[in-house]
Structure 1
Amino acid sequence: MTASLDTPSSESYACYHCGEPVTGRSPWTLELDGCRHPLCCPGCEAVARAIIEGGLASYYRFRTALPERPLDRRDATAEQWSLFDDPGLQASFVHDDDAGVHASLSVDGITCAACAWLIEHRLNALEGVTGSAVDLTHHRLRLGWDPQRIALSRLLAELAAIGYPSRPFEPDEAQRRLQRESHQQLRRLIVAALGMMQALMFSLPFYLAGNTGLDADFDRLFHWLALALTTPVVLYAAQPFFLQAWRDLRTRTLGMDVPVSLAIGSAYLASAWAVVSGRGEVYFDSVSMFTFFLLFGRHLEARARRRGGATGNALANLLPMSATRLDDDDEPRILPASELRAGDRVLVKPGHRVPADGLIESGASSLDESTLTGETQPVVRRIGDIVTGGSQNLESPLTLRITHAGRDTRVAGLLDLTDRAFAKRPRIALKSARLAHHFVLQVLLIAAAVALVWWFIAPDRAFWVTLSVLVVTCPCALALATPTALTAAHGRLHRRGALLTRADALESLASIDRVIFDKTGTLTTGKIQLIDTRIVDDDDPRHLQAIAAALEAHSEHPIASAFHTHRLPDVTADDVTRQAGGGLEGRIAGTNWRLGRPDFAADRAPAPPDDGPWLLLAEEGRPRAWFALDDRLRDDADATLAALRLAGLEVELLSGDAEPRVRELAEHLGIADWRAAMSPEDKLDRLRAHQARGERVAMVGDGVNDVPVLAGADVAFAMNGATDLARTRADVILLTPRLQRVAEAIGLARATQRVIRQNLGWALLYNLLALPLAACGLVPPWLAAIGMSLSSLVVVVNALRLARPGSFRHFTAPVSS
């Protein structure tokens, strides 16, 4: 990257980074995309190198302004962080929305839940930080801050200072880093396993010989061989424990790696001194065994986290890098998918992925949407259907009109909602982390007390008894109990097509007493059809249908799809507004039109033609036409409601539709508690009345009119076809059209709560039983290592049951809150 640029000295160039003039032959250059570009100073070189090595080379391709020239000095360490304050660079990874300014960062050096606690604790203590949360699955940090009070460079420097250097999150680079860490972790595990087996082989004769002992020569030989085999285990395999313990001590925190490192380090040094001096006990087998079982437990935990987060990581890589855009003459042109804009026309060939959200203008094909919805069967999409970016075209070419591209796509929205789920740690996870943190301090104090007591009882045994106490009470199981179960549950729900957007959603779901459903688009498919048109005066029905279609073109409600085929190019609506629960209002050819409930469309609306679900179209308050709509019940609605009732939950239907249709649907589904013609305010009042009686209520909806009640519910479900506004208020987004995912989510939440309590109970019970035995000198270090490791394995294996289909029934007895 820094090779000299051979150019005549008389020529003048502009610095590729900052734009300052470069005269003559510059010793500083930047190599990018096969070309070598001149730089004006070592400061620009250091900044450019940091940008390229950070995986942000696209900054130079898409920037719209040049940054200021950095300080002209060779020691450019500060610039490696200050460059991230550049607005052009931040545009690629910093988001500013209703939630404030936030970014996703990849973090190096994370080994366990204690690392996440340390990072969050340190950042949240800084003035100007609005929130931070670590995703242990992908070593990813979601960071929110106020740019007016603190700079991003300060936050990155703070992370580096405590041993966790960070960079903007790039899915491909993050995946490669996780693979490298996984391979390194596996190598450490193999070294520990080989060392344990060989050290145990040389220790076994001493156990078998009993009081008679071995020949002195064999004794000394086996001890030296065990020392040689255990040394790489301690120096290489156990290295992460020592590094993390040093970070903890340096930042004045106590993580579980502190007692672990004390146990491994002190046992190894004491055994090594015994070999060199010829006096004392030797426990190399215990050291290697303890290291192996710890690494094995963390390896299982990491696998569980990676498996649980596989679907979320797949979303990040779902959109293709390139797309085929069609110009006005239908000539194809391949370009980066990031350059697509709403309104572009693209060609999607068979076998290719859809580059952005769009509407099919020509063609019909089967699409694989399994990564998005969890449904394994392909779905058929035809002209007029909406397709989601990331879906894979399987059969025939499709021409799409892009509706949402880049950060506005559904995939990008789902990723942001997934990040939001980690913006706040679950309450039960915070309690567990605090419990493990306090437990470490208590273990160290107890170990010191045990050492003091045994120093007076039997000084020759004091060290080894204390070591057994440190090993047997290592809070690994306690630290793994909650995050492993939550990760397994999140992963299983995501694979089944339910995306959690709030950290406490699982905990809240487990204590739900009542589930309230909307009707249209929730209990029904939302694929509404126009089945009848009644004209009030002698008008052209096709023209009035086109007017209704022009109004509905500005709506995301499922009703809009019923009018899509009736649109005419010369009939368009302006200034369209929606009244929640009422309908649409807009201007067409200078005239005010309303479409919706009769009392909204006209001041003195006539009675509908019959008891069916009718919409009224009115011009300047004068009724012009009635439209009859019909919707189909979801196939699994009966099974879902039956499962909820079996779980002891109350089921209720609240709908804004007319009473006859709502009554008919409620009777068909056996819903005794239902309300019709409900406005959003009425629904919210009804929900609050239930909450005032002490009930915890879940709401399932999809439309703009459901937003207030979704926001007020204890847990809010948004259907797969929900409006964007409804999704932003949801705690759980269903990515699949199957309503039964609501029942599965509640069932799995209850199972997760039960598993977490089992894990915490087992971890505490084990420590309460093992601690007095070890303190009394009844547990040797090698047995303590096995006991601690088995305790951790029990917790991990129990949590992994949540990730296996069929491991739990969907519903169990309610879990008290």
Structure 2
Amino acid sequence: MTATTAQSALIDAAACYHCGASVPDDAPWTLTLDGAEHPLCCPGCEAVAHAIVDGGLAGYYRFRSQLPSRPDDRRAADAETWAVFDDPGLQARFVHADDDGGVHATLAVEGITCAACAWLIEHRLNALDGVGASAVNLAQHRVRIAWDPDRIAFSRLLAELAAIGYPAQPYEPDEAQRRLHREERRQIRRLIVAAVGMMQVAMFSIPFYVAGDGGLGGDFDTLFHWLAFALTTPVVLYSAQPFFAGARRDLRNRRLGMDVPVSLAIAGAYLASSWALLVGHGDVYFDSAAMFTFFLLAGRLLEVRARRRSGRRGNALAGVLPLSAIRLDAGGEEHILPASELVAGDRVLVRPGHGVPADGVIEQGASSLDESMLTGEALPVTRGVGDPVTGGSHNVESPLTVRVTRAGHDARAAQLLDLTDRAFAERPRIARQAARLAHHFVLQVLLIAAATGLAWSFIDSERAFWVTLSVLVVSCPCALALATPTALTAAHGRLYRRGVLLTRADALETLPRLDRMIFDKTGTLTRGEITLERTIVLSTTDTPARLTAVAAALEAHSEHPIARAFRSHRRIDITARDVIARPGQGLAGVIDGRPWRLGRPDFAAPNAPASPDHGPEQGHWLLLAEDGEPRAWFALGDRPREDAAATVAALAARGIAVELLSGDAEAPTRALAERLGIAEWRAGASPEGKLARLRACQAEGQRVAMVGDGINDVPVLAGADIAFAMNGATDLARTRADAVLLGPRLGRLVEAIDVGRATRRNIRQNLGWALAYNLLALPPAALGWVPPWLAALGMSASSLVVVANALRLTRQPPPDMAADSPIKDAP
């Protein structure tokens, strides 16, 4: 029997291809396999089926001998259905190891609509034994889970999510974008149905408002009411279905979310109006049910689009690495293969107009690269032989041959995505407080509505239900629930577009309260690139150009960072042989038959002075000597970043003290501090000394930020209230930091502080508006002054005000640092 025959015998053509259950008539879920399209019964089966096929395990369907069991209780965690995800080969694509021995993965989750959904998912997962932490990214409908594989299986996590109504699958950018697009199209269809129904129902309802209590007459009254009923029914049963599904999920999991009062209001208005129509007595408010549904759907669609627009950068980052690459074999032949199959050591060809498929080093060619997606810098940068390139950057001009150093999940773009997901591992305190407040407010709204209904049953029993409905609608805490997460999402997106990646959510809460910022020196305030600053010629027969070329010939045999300072001065007619490197002292070699030395004065020429007689002693000095006779002094330095002085001045203007802590010698540290206008500085600081200084400042009650880039900065980065890692920081420094600067500009620190302060103001404004609206709107509604349709309009408007206010953060202008002090010229 063939595989196709076996499948035909196993399941009916109209049944779900994954589980064999019946498929609803309007089910949109399908799986394409072997050129045929197979129906699926639910999004959960669709998620599992696509993940199995995309994971290269399509043979499971071709050769299976039985269908997976379906328990009667849908709430039970059916781990057997998801057991395929425990396959080690499949997990290798999306499960990654942590430093503490655990693992983590990012999942794309369906069904997330608001902050209550995020709370429910995190609460359910975090309660499982073996789960270290889970965090929902509301903007992109993702969840990052860290767990101990020895204590809990990955399939159990997926089963638990499906059991509470949130089917998930491993996150892949392209599939996630398609799924979000499908979801948005369904939302738009529901909104269109609600809009058409609302307008037509309003057309049949307006005459009753104009005619007053007398109505239009018996026949017209009945006709218009039945027409309104017919038009409202599809709005309630189709357009409002997501609210009812969310309410069922919340109640099933014993959680009061936003969908509970919404569903009560819509269902109550529809059922009460239908009953009044059937018995021929009572008020009819079909227009309010349709209008409430339309405004809620419109507000939710605008909110989702706003969050996705703010979070779109994260999705773009996830898909920034090209899908394919051109690998060169030992003979130079080109082979096209998936970029995911590249490994360290491969040579790849990057043509103009193509993306760099992995991190690497240029072996051949020179070109301009657009790194704006990764660094936020708009202008392309020039790269040549020996320069590093980052996967995801875009080649603009000329072909490049690149030797791969890190690919796949190890590439910098993938690590940045992982750091982004980590930012949601722990919500800021203000976000947790807002979520708890919204949860308690829902309960209070239900109690107030019940009390209002009881009171009006004694005052005017005929109006009791509609007054209660208005209270339920007007006080729905949607705006309160949106106030904090919408502002945080907008701020994260704003900072990322400007080149600051926040890797911990608490960073935004700490930024506005900073008192002091401590900088490392080399690679932080300076470029971290040693350059030749000055040449002093001691020979009367040699020119500066020739002596510099002699030094470059010696340094050509060295891998020390100092060698880069002389690279541009090499000449093909001057070469050195028999070069010997003396660690900590210098280089010795033979040029044109004469012995030369370059390095410390006591090594190059034992009788030479320790430093030149010309000018002040600044920077690092090297002496070039020919056969023991001094020929030239070379001053090496590390230039400050272009905006270092402006950043220091801008921080001081914002009331933040600036301090320099360096492990370098006193002379260069003092010179840099004076050049940048930093009053407090310390030289020769060890990692332990830096941490001690940080703790001393914190003991005085100061909130301290640390900016560094090296392994020696890791202890103080970990101890700071907020830690910034530079764009060229070591991997260890980046993982210990709360934020990563994606580009070389220090001015982004000032912008991060400004955005943090603006976010704090914005959240306070949103919470203040949401609370003020509910407090002001509730009394008139309880007194019967607000009809249901006006309550629906007011509730939706309040939510849109909160979203619009949060989106102002994305349009905040960058700080004006033009008037700040430039770098002072070195004496």
Q: How does the TM-score come out when normalised to structure 2?
A: 0.82
Does residue 372 of structure 2 align to residue 345 of structure 1? Answer: no
Please tell me the residue identity of whatever aligns with 2:618: G
Residue 391 of structure 1: CA displacement? 0.8
**Cα distance in 2 for residues equivalent to 1:596 and 1:442:** 77
**Cα distance in 2 for residues equivalent to 1:804 and 1:228:** 45
The match for 1:662 among 669, 673, 682 is 669
Structure-1 residue corresponding to 2:230: 228
Structure-2 residue corresponding to 1:160: 162
Does residue 730 of structure 2 align to residue 741 of structure 1? Answer: no
**Cα distance in 1 for residues equivalent to 2:45 and 2:235:** 40
Contact 1:518 1:654 (8 Å CA) reproduced: yes
Change (3 A) 1:570 1:57: farther
Residue 713 of structure 1: CA displacement? 0.9
Change (3 A) 1:238 1:48: closer
Contact 2:751 2:814 (8 Å CA) reproduced: no
Q: What is the aligned-residue identity percentage? A: 69
The match for 1:53 among 46, 50, 74 is 50
Cα deviations across residues 629-652 of structure 1 (Å, max 9, x unaligned)? Answer: 322222222322222122111112
Residue 507 of structure 1: CA displacement? 0.5
Contact 1:304 1:487 (8 Å CA) reproduced: no
Contact 2:514 2:704 (8 Å CA) reproduced: yes
Q: Secondary structure at the match of 2:448?
A: helix
Structure-2 residue corresponding to 1:25: none
Does residue 555 of structure 2 align to residue 545 of structure 1? Answer: yes
300-309 vs 634-643, which moves further: 634-643
Cα deviations across residues 462-507 of structure 1 (Å, max 9, x unaligned)? Answer: 1111111110110100000001001111111111111110011101
Superposed, 1:709-720 pairs within 5 Å as: 709-720=716-727
Contact 1:55 1:170 (8 Å CA) reproduced: no
Structure-1 residue corresponding to 2:40: none
Contact 1:322 1:334 (8 Å CA) reproduced: yes
Does residue 88 of structure 2 align to residue 87 of structure 1? Answer: yes
Structure-2 residue corresponding to 1:691: 698
**Cα distance in 2 for residues equivalent to 1:563 and 1:32:** 61
305-314 vs 662-671, which moves further: 662-671
**Cα distance in 2 for residues equivalent to 1:473 and 1:437:** 13
480-489 vs 79-88, which moves further: 79-88
Residue 48 of structure 1: CA displacement? 13
Contact 1:747 1:809 (8 Å CA) reproduced: no
**Cα distance in 1 for residues equivalent to 2:576 and 2:127:** 59
**Cα distance in 1 for residues equivalent to 2:196 and 2:47:** 40
Contact 2:348 2:403 (8 Å CA) reproduced: yes
Residue 676 of structure 1: CA displacement? 2.0
The match for 2:781 among 761, 774, 784 is 774
What's the RMSD between the two structures over aligned residues? 3.6
Residue 187 of structure 1: CA displacement? 1.6
Change (3 A) 1:123 1:219: same
Q: How many residues align?
A: 734
**Cα distance in 1 for residues equivalent to 2:816 and 2:296:** 32
Q: Secondary structure at the match of 1:130?
A: strand
**Cα distance in 2 for residues equivalent to 1:250 and 1:569:** 81
The match for 2:323 among 321, 324, 334 is 321
Change (3 A) 1:571 1:319: farther
Contact 2:68 2:81 (8 Å CA) reproduced: no
Contact 1:743 1:810 (8 Å CA) reproduced: no
Change (3 A) 1:570 1:692: farther
Cα deviations across residues 551-573 of structure 1 (Å, max 9, x unaligned)? Answer: 55xxxxxx786588899999999
Cα deviations across residues 311-334 of structure 1 (Å, max 9, x unaligned)? Answer: 111111111111111112212111
Structure-2 residue corresponding to 1:185: 187
Contact 2:554 2:579 (8 Å CA) reproduced: no
Structure-2 residue corresponding to 1:258: 260
Change (3 A) 1:754 1:560: farther
Contact 1:358 1:389 (8 Å CA) reproduced: yes
Superposed, 1:636-651 pairs within 5 Å as: 636-651=643-658
Please tell me the residue identity of whatever aligns with 2:67: R
Superposed, 1:380-779 pairs within 5 Å as: 380-530=382-532, 545=555, 548-549=558-559, 562=565, 611-614=617-620, 628-779=635-786
**Cα distance in 2 for residues equivalent to 1:765 and 1:116:** 25
71-80 vs 215-224, which moves further: 71-80
Query: Which consecutive unaligned segments of at least 5 residues does structure 2 have?
Result: 8-30, 37-43, 71-78, 538-549, 587-597, 602-608, 624-629, 819-827
Q: Secondary structure at the match of 1:635?
A: coil
Contact 1:514 1:697 (8 Å CA) reproduced: yes
**Cα distance in 2 for residues equivalent to 1:407 and 1:259:** 44
Residue 4 of structure 1: CA displacement? 3.5
**Cα distance in 2 for residues equivalent to 1:273 and 1:241:** 22
Contact 2:665 2:684 (8 Å CA) reproduced: yes
Residue 58 of structure 1: CA displacement? 4.3
**Cα distance in 1 for residues equivalent to 2:478 and 2:642:** 46
Please tell me the residue identity of whatever aligns with 1:124: N
Change (3 A) 1:300 1:809: farther
Residue 358 of structure 1: CA displacement? 0.9
Structure-2 residue corresponding to 1:122: 124
Cα deviations across residues 428-468 of structure 1 (Å, max 9, x unaligned)? Answer: 11111111011111111111111111112211111111111
Please tell me the residue identity of whatever aligns with 2:478: C
Structure-1 residue corresponding to 2:374: 372
Q: How does the TM-score come out when normalised to structure 1?
A: 0.83
Residue 404 of structure 1: CA displacement? 1.2
Cα deviations across residues 225-265 of structure 1 (Å, max 9, x unaligned)? Answer: 21122111111111100000000111111111101100100
**Cα distance in 1 for residues equivalent to 2:279 and 2:600:** 93
Superposed, 1:5-20 pairs within 5 Å as: none
**Cα distance in 2 for residues equivalent to 1:56 and 1:170:** 14
**Cα distance in 2 for residues equivalent to 1:254 and 1:220:** 38
**Cα distance in 2 for residues equivalent to 1:456 and 1:210:** 25
Please tell me the residue identity of whatever aligns with 1:782: W
Contact 1:752 1:802 (8 Å CA) reproduced: yes
Change (3 A) 1:2 1:470: farther
Structure-2 residue corresponding to 1:97: 98
**Cα distance in 2 for residues equivalent to 1:324 and 1:237:** 49
Cα deviations across residues 272-300 of structure 1 (Å, max 9, x unaligned)? Answer: 11122211111112111211121122112
Contact 1:744 1:810 (8 Å CA) reproduced: no
Q: Secondary structure at the match of 1:54?
A: helix
Query: Which consecutive unaligned segments of at least 5 residues does structure 1 have?
Result: 7-29, 36-46, 553-558, 577-582, 586-594, 599-605, 618-623, 812-817
525-534 vs 292-301, which moves further: 525-534
Please tell me the residue identity of whatever aligns with 1:80: T
Residue 378 of structure 1: CA displacement? 1.3
Deviation >6 Å, runs of 4+: 30-35, 47-51, 532-535, 563-573, 595-598, 624-627, 807-811
**Cα distance in 1 for residues equivalent to 2:557 and 2:765:** 61
Cα deviations across residues 411-443 of structure 1 (Å, max 9, x unaligned)? Answer: 111111111112222221111111101111111
**Cα distance in 1 for residues equivalent to 2:817 and 2:769:** 24
Structure-1 residue corresponding to 2:301: 299
Does residue 277 of structure 2 align to residue 275 of structure 1? Answer: yes
197-206 vs 475-484, which moves further: 197-206
**Cα distance in 2 for residues equivalent to 1:76 and 1:561:** 66
Contact 1:546 1:571 (8 Å CA) reproduced: no
Please tell me the residue identity of whatever aligns with 1:75: P
**Cα distance in 2 for residues equivalent to 1:561 and 1:477:** 57
Change (3 A) 1:432 1:196: same
**Cα distance in 2 for residues equivalent to 1:627 and 1:252:** 74
Q: Secondary structure at the match of 2:784?
A: coil
Change (3 A) 1:358 1:463: same
Residue 669 of structure 1: CA displacement? 2.1
